[in-house]
Amino acid sequence: MGSIIGSSSVEWSAYLGRELGNVTIIRELGRGVMGVVFVGYQKTLKRQVAVKVLAKAAGAGELASDLFRDEGEMVAVLAHPNIIPIFEMGEADDCFFQVMQLVDGIDLRTTIRRLSKHPIPSRRLMPVSEVIDLMVPILDALGYAHEEGVIHQDIKPANILVESRGGRPLVADFGIARALAGEYKSEGLVVGTPLYMSPEQVAGKVTDGRADIYSAGVILFELCAGSLPVRPAERAEEILTRKKNVPDTFFTAKPGQVSSRVDADLERIIVKAISPSAEWRYRACEDFIDDLKEYRAAHFAPADAV
């Protein structure tokens, strides 16, 4: 099956107050599959930044270190308004680190959770028109990265940040990004978040941009239907096994069966994006975007248009 790269027990609080490059670590911001993100202060430009750290003691191994280095090199050349830029990357005796833009906003997973607790039931889901407005720039960013030879491979709500002002979505944490020509062909290497991972990624196969399209399709499904129809209490290992061996049984219902607000046209778009077979998915993000824009134009008033 392979394994999911992650970090073991590390005393992350020891990094507080420490200097990495020209940045002083201030506080912890969050944890991800490839390390921990801190808020730091960049002395040269007198600004707060986000600092992602991968501790060498985390037991991720040489391959994870190579992935981390190459991530910075690849993402540093990406210039897109919906991709968080990396300013600096470096290595210390005990860690690798990357300095990137600090976003004033919250991630999409937090947004979904907050909406689900709204006292008014009808306000617990993001309007479909707003979902499309959110997904189009995300897909545009992914399509741009794909054209530059970079796939994300861990697209999920927690890796989509939405700015507090203006609501601009930004794709974060290319923590396991690899060049399409990638140097990492170790059979069985599995990296990502099981619920949103494509079947071919779970199987440890060489992936392309259609793996990101699958993950984006799952997010679209979740935002439009309100929940994902999966088996309750299924563990990560069980999800991986099911997606690898019987991927067409992973979702237990179609989008329209989960929520009546998902009509046949929208369901067709979602089902195509999350097809178990990459061959049946959208060929490129541009095609996915075209269908979403066409659906929006056909189902919502011009005043709501993007």
Burial of 123 (0-12, 13-18, 19+ CB in 10 A): exposed
For the chain, give me the number of helices (H) and strands (E)? 9, 11
The DSSP secondary-structure symbol of 8 reads: -
- List the catalytic residues: 154
Q: Both tokens of residue 273?
A: 């994006």
* Sheet hosting strand 105-107, strand order edge to edge: 105-107, 160-163, 169-171
243: amino acid identity, one letter: K
Residue with tokens 């099911």: 242
Q: CA 164, CA 263: separation in Å to the nearest integer?
A: 31
Among 145, 157, 207, which Cα is nearest to 181's?
207
DSSP secondary structure letters along 93-119: SSEEEEEEPPPSEEEHHHHHHHHHT-S
Residue 279 phi, psi (nearest 5): -65, -25
Q: CA 233, CA 85: separation in Å to the nearest integer?
A: 36
